Homo-oligomer: A and B are copies of this chain.
Amino acid sequence: MSNRMPLSPTPRSTPTREKGRARTDRAELDAVLDAGLVCHLGVVLDGTPVVVPTVYGRDGDTLFLHGSSGAGNLRAALAGDISVAVTLVDGLVYARSAMHFSMNYRSAVVRGRAVELSDADERMHALRVIVEHSAPGAWDRVRPPSKKELAATMVLALDLTEASVKVRAGGPRDDSGDIETGGVWAGVLPVRQMWEAPISSADLEAGVEVPRDVLDRVATTLNTA
């Protein structure tokens, strides 16, 4: 990853709080983005912020988003800078004092100006990246987007240059006085997000088997730390 841009090249993406949790390795950004299933997109709509969950995909230094061309949030996303956050929760930190309770997590926050893709090949590539992000192996066996579907779809590309990554891991960081006092349990309750057994669609015809790439995910963790 030595040829990749470093993270946080601008002051506004350099964390000022909890500096110990900030990471600067570009590979860590990729890892968080690749492990997430949904992102939270922040745009300014009618002068005030709005945050919505949406799917995404990543290819190299670019994050792709898509949605209906009629969606106000996506139109707003093109009118100014946006922010995209991906957060993976790894555990709940129980401390000996109320203010030291915390979460173990990995999070990426990207800021920048998105552009709408207009080139047909670029758009198709981005849509493939988005589908394959959450459902690897699925694109090649399903019907590709039709002209009508493409006409109704906006595809946005966001450069990943301006991003920050934070990671918290490990046990509570209690005050020494509280540790000395003792008597209170402290530790971590880990969280794990798992794929469960597939449920075939009620309208699926007989004889169509669950694909291997779907079966292989069952009982695996979505986003291992």
Number of copies: 2
- In Å, the complex CA distance between A172 and B208 comes to 15
A142 and B53 contact, CB distance less than 8 A:
no
| Interface 0/1 of A37-56, CB less than 8 Å to B | 11011111111111111010
A204 close to chain B: CB less than 8 A = yes
Given A194-B191, A211-B185: A83 and B51 interface contact (C-beta under 8 Å): yes
A185 and B171 contact, CB distance less than 8 A:
no
Given A89-B37, A174-B203, A201-B172: A49 and B185 interface contact (C-beta under 8 Å): no
Partner of A98, one of B87, B95, B142: B142
B203 and A198 contact, CB distance less than 8 A:
no
Partner of A85, one of B40, B97, B146: B40
Range class of the A interface residue count: 35 or more
B185 and A190 contact, CB distance less than 8 A:
no
B139 and A98 contact, CB distance less than 8 A:
yes
A160 close to chain B: CB less than 8 A = no
Partner of A92, one of B80, B89, B134, B197: B134
B190 and A199 contact, CB distance less than 8 A:
yes
A196 and B192 contact, CB distance less than 8 A:
yes
- In Å, the complex CA distance between A33 and B122 comes to 38
A51 and B208 contact, CB distance less than 8 A:
no
Given A50-B111, A92-B37, A134-B101: A200 and B214 interface contact (C-beta under 8 Å): no
A192 and B190 contact, CB distance less than 8 A:
no
Known: A40-B51, A49-B80, A49-B82. 12 other contacts (CB 8 A): A12-B45, A37-B103, A40-B85, A44-B49, A49-B111, A50-B109, A51-B51, A98-B139, A185-B209, A185-B210, A188-B198, A188-B201
List of 6 A-B pairs having minimum Cβ-Cβ separation, nearest first: A48-B81, A42-B51, A40-B40, A97-B143, A42-B42, A42-B49
